[in-house]
Structure 1
Amino acid sequence: MSSPFNRRAAIWTGAVAAAAAAALAVWLVVVPDDPGPGDRFDPGAAYLDPSLPIAERVDDLLARMTIEEKAGQMTQAVVDAVGGSEDDIRDLGIGSLLNGGSDALHDTPEDWAAMIDGFQERALDSRLRIPLMYGLDAVHGNASLPGATVFPHNIGLGAAGDPGLAERTAAITAIETRVAGVHWTFSPCLCVARDSRWGRTFESFGEDPDLVGSMATVVNGYQGEDLSAATSVLATAKHFAGDGGTAYGSSTTEDYLLDQGVTELSEEELRRLHIAPFEDAIEAGVGSVMVSYSSNDLGDGPVKAHADEYLLTDVLRGELGFDGIVLSDWQAIDQISPDYNEAVRTSINAGIDMVMVPFDYRKFIDTLLEEVEAGNVSEDRVDDAVGRILTQKFALGLFEEPYADTSGADLVGSEEHRAVAREAAAASQVLLRNEDDLLPLSGEESVYVAGSGADALGRQLGGWSGAWQGTVEGVNEGTTILEGIGEVAGPGAEIRFSEDASEPIGAADVGVVVVAEDPYSEGVGDAGAGSHDMTLSEADAAAVDSVCAAADCVVIVVSGRPVELDGHLERVDALVAAWLPGSEGAGVADPLFGVEPYTGTLPVSWPRKVDDEPLNVGDPGYDPLFEFGFGLGT
């Protein structure tokens, strides 16, 4: 892989190869007065020799590091926290930076790369020239980058049920992420959603652990055959373990009814439902695992996953053989105890290797050093953690090519990539009702389109798209469902649109009402939190009732989970679950007009009423509106 070393390429190459005395002179400028082990930077050090096995390089580098440098490597800070204090990256040896949510900080891959390369320069000014890793939540495309290809959220890919297609979406995400200088995506979410009131349901591939585990192919898509390639990013299986099984109302935080709550299961059930998919990811070689905010109660009271040494060390590391980075979630260790020293030592001893601090990184580093000095955290535990972090940095090729390769920037949002996103959107559509074979439409009809999801890119993108919670307006480029209908329908079709169905329907042959949830993420989307309650909005309900009373009627549901349709289906002739289809609304229109068949099946059970949750196949008295795995074909 070639790399445009647009900043200090000659210096870096000279240091690694010991090719030029002038380059070495530059490298030796920033050296602490008392650097400790290894004295000064040694360009002939074994850890800089790419021909050696990674394990040897790690051991050599660890032997040269001070305890302060090791603590820095275990620190992940949010990019906003180091803005204006960028020398801290060098002086503290911070191991990783991350984006806050999916915030769109820059408009182009080149601008993103320039920002991250600037941080990388600071890291390479440190004594041992250890590069940093930059991570973000590219969970369904690099949706932090305007113009990027955005795929259906995981719930839609679970409906498509095609592990190979899911892998292809991840491979494209990796290309559009690494080209912006980002090395690490906090994806895939291998949570098993057992209660659709959970605001993260759309991040799950479904309610069945076998279905979820089959989608661990996305790890191969992200990481590729060579993690150091300009087309690969480090993947993260999350959240270990049990976050999809939290009991309704189990959280002690008033605003969060499910998220960050307690999963109350026997160990056997926890393993069968929530740990099993991680085994598939580990077998695929996933490089990192993120720990869950939630707690597990296996019968002896709830234990925070971030404090659970049995699950993180005995099970994940020991029994399952995971040898990558164990990463905390955002400020999650703070929830272990109000005593920060206790929170730090408990989480590190439990098995956390890198802490997503994310703001007060100095406090974390100082506290960790205090705990090591006091003998509460062993240096062996620190070495194990740092060794895992360095192993992935070597695998990413950052010691050889630390700066971004933006030569593939023209691939971002390319027609080729968007074609795969359109294919994925079409494959994720689930046909739930089709009276008198109304669908597919011929494309020659007069079509009256209504509903809040028809012409709202932000609603079909969902959360984690341009911002943590997403936006109704949407910041990414794409095609709305209305635009897709106009594109796919035949030249003889007449398309009219009225979002609230206030315009006369007239002699329309068919009405298409696209109802939608507003975007949300995490606990903000828990049913009962804020305005998110898994029911149709008053405006959408009125549009369904009005349009379906006047014409043959198709209702398309754009949502991150099932919504309550009770009382609105009497006159509905065709019903489609579109999930959160991403940037390519034409993928929703393709099966609507028969360009592609309807092949999707329900990845979760669809309740008659919200209060029927939790509802999962195999439950006693199982009586959903539509069963798990249901889907009509065309």
Structure 2
Amino acid sequence: MNELENLLLILILSSTIVLSSTGAVMSIVMNGVFFLLTLFSASSKGSEEKNRIRKIVVGVIFLFVTALCVYLWLYSTIKPPSPPLPPKEAPYRNPNLTPEERAADLLSRMTLEEKIGQMTLVDRQSISSISDISTYYLGGLLSGGGSCPDPNVPWNWARMYNEFQKQAVEKTRLGIPILYGIDAVHGHNNVYGAVIFPHNVGMGATWNPELVEECARITAIEVRATGIRWTFSPCIDVARDDRWGRTYESFSEDPYLVKTMAISAVRGYQGAGLNRNDTVLATAKHYMGSGGTENGRDQGDCKAPLRIVREQHLEPFAGAVEAGVGSIMASYCSINGQKMHGSKFFLTDVLRRELGFQGLLVSDWEAIGQVDSSYREAVKKSIEAGIDMAMVPQSWRQFQVVLKDLVNRGEIPISRIDEAVYRILVTKFRMGLFENPYVDESLASIVGNAKHREVARQAVRESIVLLKNNGILPIPKNVSTIYVAGPNANDIGKQCGGWTITWQGSSGNITIGTTILEAIKRTVSPQTRIIFDEDASEISGPYDVGIVVVGETPYAEFYGDRENLDLPEEQLKIIDRVVASGTPTVVIMVAGRPLTGIESRLSQWSAFLMAWLPGTEGQGVADVLFGDYNPSGKLPRSWPRSTAQEPINYDRRPSEAYDPLFEFGYGLSYTTFEYINLTVSPISPKVEDTITIQVSVKNTGSRSGSEVVQVYISDVESSLPTPVKKLYRFQKVMLEPGETRNIVFTIPVSELGLYTEGPERIVEKGVFLVTIGGLTASFTVN
């Protein structure tokens, strides 16, 4: 090896060492230089003078390349100066300033990376290390269905939450706490041992807004006891098709009933202030149209004129905004082909400018990626449309890179980022997170306590709808023998349904609670014999009474979409076997929606009750069966005769058929009620007036009981097709035997208007018809 080759070898070795630190791009550049030098060396033949010149050239190149590599290595390892630490007396640290003042100060101190971090909401299972919270400045974490610590017990949730929060508060420059969210949709349902309330469809059947508020209040207490401060609830979709897999998450098919329950739920969750230790940030979801998609397909397309969309799906969100809801979640669905997450019209023009929503707008789970086939375009459209915080549980790293590039290239203005982050920060300041970021882990012991379970038991009682009774109910507690059958009689998982412990829920002993069979055994006399045979395969009867509990197995979201709503044939045969034995048969349905295929057999059943998805407190079902509680539930949904009738809704247009098996608002009692003396005044109101409706209700039976007084109004002479009748008010009243009460309702005439394509209701002159309990009265708007 000659001297020139030695120099080249030294050059290559030394450069290789440096290049290992400078990256792939410089490697490519230097390899080109080495290649040229090698060619030069290979052609080195000639005089000694020429070789000396060549050696000098190679030496100069060697020194230049070495110096360049060292410079690039230093440049790549020296970090740019870090932003300064904020002073301890920074205004955003001052709790005496308003949340808005504090947020403005904090926003002015943030880098682009910190701002994008605040807009990022990540599932706890998707971070590779707890340090990701501080490294990527994450603004929020969540637990999706089944995303639980191990062991899944309340105290461990609290411990986990504090560890996550410590990383954000103590390991970042600005100390911004994370906002932790969870789908606490019918209690703190991810947590083993928490009380599980009836799903929303059952709560809608109570027609009791005060009870809905109380259940939400208890949920907030149990959620806060584990540290979490944000629930993705209430779901205020108006489910218009029972085939939809999320029907049980909806309070009703009726917008007014949903709106009323939405207001109560928001008040229950958020209480007297978000900075209290017994409240959580509520999320009204899914804005909007999810319940009106074609054929009831989850994440589908809601195809309807804008005036119908406003009438059927916007009203509950208007109510939630009026109640001060702190956050709203956008829907997966499309409206007339346009994805909601990418619609600036709906997310900004309607939600913010028309309804006046000022809170935090969050996306649904990875829904941003559905807006466009290009993820870059999807992020751009969603953020421009108005999404503030992106729920990107798995794609969060990609989201941050893409969003930063969009801002740096000027495709998304920094003003839109600042607007989003400002809303997030204001929310956190309003919640008192900066002053109280942690939870006292000893508070976890209150989760699932006896007082909370008693409220849930009352919710179950009031949710049950008695659909048929030939006099067999209530069952005497000292009856000789009760035969119990059916797959849902002794299964706490089936009682709770989806969104319980895991996303989809599951059958079996999944959490602490009382099954319907256990409740029956606890209620009857010691002398009563209980026989349980799930399939009724060995029934010999007849017995004094048979109770068959049938229904659905757990599911959630699109996994629950159905083409056929019939009760499974094998379950019908279980009922048939009990009936055939000569045993008077009581059928209880445990399901998230009305199931069909029962009409031909209904006449053979002695009684039929709908228990919905009652949750952990099955004792409430037994309370109704044995007369400890007089059933008062009313159907929040029309009950179809067959799936072919779907979608079936009572507030139909005149051209639409309506022939359900059981009507919306129907429900029996162990007593009877009579309506008398319906009056409306004035009978010729003006648009700016308020009408007063009065009616008297009498308990004509021998038991005390509750009746839901329902006020329906029809616009008889409207210029556009309007509902044949529409619910405008209701009130649940308790009456003793023989008691009569006068019920008064007031309704501004302006509420009776119809939507056109714009945001205003138009009240037209003409005749309106009021219907309450079979009585009718009219008035004419002048």
Normalized against structure 1, the TM-score is what?
A: 0.90
> Which segment drifts farther, 386-395 or 405-414?
405-414
Q: Does 1:101 align with 2:145?
A: yes
Other-structure match for 1:12: none
Other-structure match for 2:380: 345
- Quick one: distance in 2 between partners of 1:107 and 1:77? 20
Does structure 2 retain, via aligned residues, the 8 Å contact 1:102–1:143? no
Segments of structure 2 that go 5 or more residues without pairing to the other structure are 1-78, 671-782
Q: Does 1:629 align with 2:662?
A: no
Pick from 551, 555, 559 the counterpart of residue 591 of structure 2: 559
Other-structure match for 1:62: 107
Displacement of 1:474 after TM fit?
4.2
Q: Give the AA of the match of 1:107.
A: N
Other-structure match for 1:542: 573
What SS is found at the alignment partner of 2:285?
Answer: strand
Does structure 2 retain, via aligned residues, the 8 Å contact 1:544–1:568? no
Other-structure match for 2:514: 479
CA deviation map 1:108-162 (0-9, x unaligned):
2221111121111211211100010111100000111111000000000000010
Other-structure match for 2:286: 239
Q: Does 1:595 align with 2:639?
A: no
Displacement of 1:407 after TM fit?
3.6
Displacement of 1:68 after TM fit?
1.1
Pick from 626, 630, 646 the counterpart of residue 613 of structure 1: 646
- Quick one: distance in 1 between partners of 2:136 and 2:610? 50
- Quick one: distance in 2 between partners of 1:474 and 1:398? 36
Q: Does 1:227 align with 2:274?
A: yes
What SS is found at the alignment partner of 1:61?
Answer: helix
Displacement of 1:33 after TM fit?
5.6
What SS is found at the alignment partner of 1:511?
Answer: strand
Other-structure match for 1:494: 529
Displacement of 1:185 after TM fit?
0.6
The equivalences for 1:509-524 within 5 A come to 509-524=544-559
CA deviation map 1:65-92 (0-9, x unaligned):
111110000000111111x322221011
- Quick one: distance in 1 between partners of 2:209 and 2:315? 17
How many pairs were matched up?
583
Say which structure, 1 or 2, has more relative contact order (CA 8 Å, 6+ apart). 1
The equivalences for 1:22-421 within 5 A come to 34-36=81-83, 39-82=84-127, 84-105=128-149, 106-124=151-169, 125-216=171-262, 217-248=264-295, 258-297=297-336, 302-421=337-456
Q: Does 1:443 align with 2:474?
A: no
Does structure 2 retain, via aligned residues, the 8 Å contact 1:109–1:180? yes
Which of these two proteins has the greater Rg computed from alpha carbons? Answer: 2
What SS is found at the alignment partner of 1:622?
Answer: coil
Q: Give the AA of the match of 1:175.
A: I
More strand by percentage = 2
What SS is found at the alignment partner of 1:215?
Answer: helix
- Quick one: distance in 1 between partners of 2:601 and 2:253? 25
What SS is found at the alignment partner of 1:567?
Answer: helix
Displacement of 1:285 after TM fit?
0.8
- Quick one: distance in 1 between partners of 2:625 and 2:145? 34
> Which segment drifts farther, 173-182 or 103-112?
103-112
CA deviation map 1:197-243 (0-9, x unaligned):
00000000010000000102111111111212221111100000100
Does structure 1 retain, via aligned residues, the 8 Å contact 2:159–2:441? no
Does structure 1 retain, via aligned residues, the 8 Å contact 2:154–2:445? no
CA deviation map 1:264-323 (0-9, x unaligned):
1111111111010011111111110000000001xxxx1000011001000101111101
What SS is found at the alignment partner of 2:329?
Answer: strand
Does structure 2 retain, via aligned residues, the 8 Å contact 1:178–1:230? yes
Displacement of 1:102 after TM fit?
4.1
- Quick one: distance in 2 between partners of 1:225 and 1:618? 35
Does structure 1 retain, via aligned residues, the 8 Å contact 2:467–2:610? yes
Does structure 1 retain, via aligned residues, the 8 Å contact 2:231–2:282? yes
- With over 3 angstroms needed to count, the CA separation of the structure-2 counterparts of 1:418 and 1:505, relative to structure 1, is farther
Normalized against structure 2, the TM-score is what?
A: 0.73
Pick from 558, 573, 577 the counterpart of residue 606 of structure 2: 573
CA deviation map 1:501-553 (0-9, x unaligned):
1232424101000002000000100003xxxx422223311111011222111
- Quick one: distance in 1 between partners of 2:420 and 2:81? 25
Provide the identity percentage.
49
- With over 3 angstroms needed to count, the CA separation of the structure-2 counterparts of 1:264 and 1:424, relative to structure 1, is same
Q: Give the AA of the match of 2:658.
A: Y
- Quick one: distance in 2 between partners of 1:332 and 1:346? 12
